[in-house]
Structure formats: structure tokens, C-alpha cells
Amino acid sequence: MAVRRLAAMRVTGLRRREGRVHYPMRCVTSPTFRFCRAAGPIALIALSGCAGGVATIGPPRMPKVAPGAPVPAEPKVTASEVLATASARVAQDDFAGAADALGALPAAERVGVARELAESAAARDPWRAGRLAVAMPEGDPQAAAAEVVVRAMLARDPDATVRWALAATDPAAGFAVRRAVAEQFVQGDATAALERFTAVPISPERDSLLALAAAAWVRHDRTTALAWGRALPAGETRALAISSMGFEIAQTAPERAVEVAETLPEGHDRWQLFSAIGQTWVARDPEAAWSWARGFPEGEARTAAVAGIETGLGGAGLRNPALAAGLAGGGARRVAVGGTVAGAGGAGAPAPGLAREDALRRQFEEMLRRSPRLAADWLTSLPSPDRSDEMLARLTREWFATDPGAARKWLQLNVPSRAQREFLLQGVRP
């Protein structure tokens, strides 16, 4: 007679077939027990079989518990057990199941397991491992897996790696894999990499890849990257590259981003960059920021610069519809900043004004629901004036609850004002 083991599982739904109950579940196997999970209420059952993610069982049996006795704690699963289970699912091409297995671990342990799982898969077949990376949980686990997989792909076929990155259409997975491709390419021959990307037919995915690569390059070698961007012929590709570099520089050296912005034609791209410069600069040197903004004559340039400064100081910024309308000049065109494509259904797509603010808030809620890391990447891709204090505060609270180290590092890099960082951290301190 087969040994029947007790297992704890979360029931999402029941199906009856031939008088028996079928519980959809996720299984994590250890040497000593079989532990099955799925989202929903907990029930203790006796397993009689588990195949294909569905266990066929008899009626649930509750263990006999003496009155007043403590309820048995749910068994804990170790990282090595989850890795073994996920590896077995990868071997069966069940990439979604492998990703689901990581859910049994605390958030802090998922990244390491995701990286180790991707390394093992990529050593055998990088392209198959790419399917695993796309299926990984959004945020840090997916970013770690994508980095490992892209490195292995590039060692075999750089052209195929670019095609794979451009084919990723899921917003979260696409951003993760294109960012990994951009970072890896610019660490080699950055000039050749950017020329390769500019030769790709224009699409939202191509613009995202080019913007991410331009931003990564200017972080590593500002002088060479800017020289390359300025030498491009006038047009959308040049504006895209210069804008992305300018926004990247504005995060750490706003005064140096001014001359980058002035190489852009007058219009929406330049005004958005002026606004980002104003917001960052006022946190570092208010007197210099105001002096720069007031040096413009009345018009859109001055309006954009002052908008950024006011936002940096906690003012209305782009929440003023009239001010937002003033920033709309220059026509609607596809622009990518930080890998997010505007005018093509991406985060930058909403029109300026109150409708834009509402759309951005909804998009932020959706990103945060998926993962704090994804919301952070999305916020970084926005012009500084579009990052509201409310968004930053919510992101800080929720990210610190799962990964305080990553959250603190992100704040250091993206919130230059020490006073503002301290204010945000007050919301997470006990």
C-alpha cells in the first residue's frame, strides 16, 4: 500500500471528475516530504498522486488535533529545495512552473536562486534559458536572470541576441532583457553597439534598446558618448540618443546636462530635459538653479526650467495644466527616455496635463502591483517632473518591506536631495 503523506497546500479551485477532487497546485519536493502550494486558503490533505501540477486526491482529511493544541506550522522550504524543484521543471520546459517555485521563498532569497537557475540553464542552451528569463518573476529576479542569459547569448551570437531582445513584447520582460543587452554591449565596443542599434528598423522596441544603450554608454564614457550623439545627422534618432544621454546626466550632474539640452531642437524634448535639470539642480544648489532658470527670457524654456525647480521644491510643477500645455510644444513624436517609449503606448504616451497625471498614476499603480523593482525602473524612465512625491513615498515604503538594500541604493542614485531621502525614509522607520 502506497505511503500517504500529509502535505499543506493552498487551494485555488476544485474540479470533480469521476467522483474525485482535483486540486491545482505547485509542488516543491524535498527529500523528506512533498509540499504543494497554490494561492488560496490552506487545507491539510493526503496526497495520492501528483502529475502535471495537478494532484488527484481523495476527500480532504484533517489531522486529529487535541483541543487547545497549537496548530502545526507550515513547513519551511529551503533555497536548495526550491532550486532543485525549479531545475526539474526547467528540464521539462515548464518555465512558468519554475518561476512559480520561487514564490515559496522570501523575496530576499529569490534573486540568488533565479541567478543560479539561469546560469545552469544558460550553460546548456542560452536561447532556451532566455525563455526562462522571460518567465521569471518581475523585478530583481528577472533582471538577474536576464543579465546571466544575455552574457551567455552574446558569447555565441550577438546578432541573434539583439533579435531576441527586440522580439520581447511583454513590457516588464522586454525592459529587463533590453536593459541587459544594452549594458553588455556598451561594455565592449560601445560605438559599434550603438551603430548596430541605429541600423535596426524603427520600432518602439528598437527605440527602447537604443535609449537604454545611450544612457548606459554616457554613464561609462560621457565624453565619447556625447561626441557620437552630436555627430549623428539631424532627425529622430539623434534626438532620441541625445535626450536619453541628457536625462541620464541630469540625474547626477544637472549643470552639465544644460549644454546637452541646448543641442536639441526647440520643442518638447528640450523643455522636458530643462525641467528634469531644474528639479535635480535645485536639490543640489538652489541659488545656481534659480539663476539659470531666470536667465531665460519669458517663454517655454523659462517655463520648463521653473517647472522643474518648483517640482523639486515640492511645488505644482507639471500638475499645472497651463504649464503642462506650454511643455507640449514641438509636436508628438516617438521619444524614448530610459528605455520607455513615448508616443507609442509606453509610459510617456499620455498627453500632458491633468489627464497625463491620472494616466501616469494608474501606470505606476500597475507597475507597483507587479513589483517595486519594476515600478522603480519605470519611475527612473520618466522625466523628473513626472515623478510625484506620492509615487516616491509609496515605492519607498513597499520596496523597503521586501528588499531594503536595493531600495536604499536606488534612493541614493535617484533622489539627490538628502533632505528628501530622509523624508522618504521616515515613512519606513518603525
- The count of residues in the chain is 430
- Going by C-alpha positions, the residue among 428, 374, 421 that lies closest to residue 400 is 428
Cell 527670457, residue located: 297
All cell numbers assigned to 298? 519669458
In terms of domains, do 215 and 166 share one?
Answer: no
Max alpha carbon distance in the chain (Å)? 89
Same structural domain, 134 and 261? no
- Exposed, middle or buried: residue 321 (CB in 10 Å: 0-12, 13-18, 19+)? middle
Number of structural domains in the chain = 3
Q: Global pTM?
A: 0.59
Long-range contacts of 316-325 (CB under 8 A, 24+ apart): 317/275, 317/279, 317/385, 318/275, 318/352, 318/356, 318/357, 318/385, 318/386, 319/354, 319/357, 319/388, 321/353, 321/354, 324/352, 324/353, 324/354, 324/356, 325/352, 325/353
User: Rounded to whole angstroms, how far apart are CA atoms 218 and 229?
Assistant: 10
Handedness of CA 50, 51, 52, 57 (dihedral sign): negative
Asked whether residue 364 falls in the same domain as residue 418, the answer is yes
CA–chain centroid gap for 361, Å, is 16
Between 389-402 and 418-426, two packed helices, what is the crossing angle to 10 degrees?
60
**Is residue 148 located within the same domain as residue 292?**
no
> Containing domain of residue 13, as a range?
6-57
* Residue 69, domain member (yes or no): no
Residues 262 and 304 in one domain: yes
Q: Are residues 232 and 177 in the same domain?
A: no
Contact between 320 and 289 under an 8 Å Cβ cutoff? The reply is no
- The grid cell for 68 is 487547545
In a shared domain, residues 221 and 184: no
Over residues 200-216, the pLDDT tens digits come to 998 888 988 999 999 99
Determine the distance from the C-alpha atom of residue 177 to the mean position of all C-alpha atoms in its chain, rounded to a whole number.
10
- Is 312 among the domain residues? yes
Residues 23 and 128 in one domain: no
Radius of gyration of the chain (CA): 25
Nearest to 251 by CA among 337, 344, 144: 337
Q: Which helix (H) or strand (E) holds 375?
A: helix 372-381
Residue 198 lies in a domain: no
Distance CA 307, CA 312 (A): 9
**Same structural domain for residues 317 and 254?**
yes
What grid cell was written down for 8? 499543506
Reduced to 3 states (helix: H, G, I; strand: E, B; else coil), residue 122 is helix
For residues 262 and 395, membership in a common domain is answered with yes
Reference 131, options 98, 103, 175; nearest CA is 98
* Nearest-5° Cα angle at 180, 196 to 112: 160
In sequence order, the 6+-apart residues with CB closer than 8 A to the CB of 11 are 23, 25, 38, 40, 41, 42, 43
Do both 328 and 430 map to the same domain?
yes
Cell of 423: 523624508
* Residue 66 domain-assigned (yes or no): no
Residues 6 or more apart whose Cβ sits within 8 Å of residue 17: none
Per-residue confidence (pLDDT) for residue 223, from 0 to 100: 92
Is there a domain that residue 328 lies in? yes
- Same domain for 276 and 219: yes
Rounded-to-integer distance, Cα 141 and Cα 164, Å: 19
Q: Would you state the cell numbers that stand for residue 5, as one nine-digit string? A: 503523506
- Per-residue confidence in pLDDT tens, the chain, 430 aa: 433 333 333 333 333 333 333 434 434 333 333 334 333 333 333 333 444 444 444 444 555 556 656 655 556 789 999 999 999 999 999 999 999 999 898 887 888 999 999 999 999 999 999 999 999 988 888 989 999 999 999 999 999 999 999 998 888 888 889 999 999 999 989 999 999 999 999 888 898 899 999 999 998 899 999 999 999 998 888 988 999 999 889 888 888 999 999 989 888 888 888 988 988 898 888 899 999 999 999 888 888 898 888 877 764 444 333 333 333 333 333 333 444 433 333 333 333 444 556 667 777 887 787 788 878 877 876 666 677 778 888 888 888 888 888 888 888 777 767 777 777 887 665 5
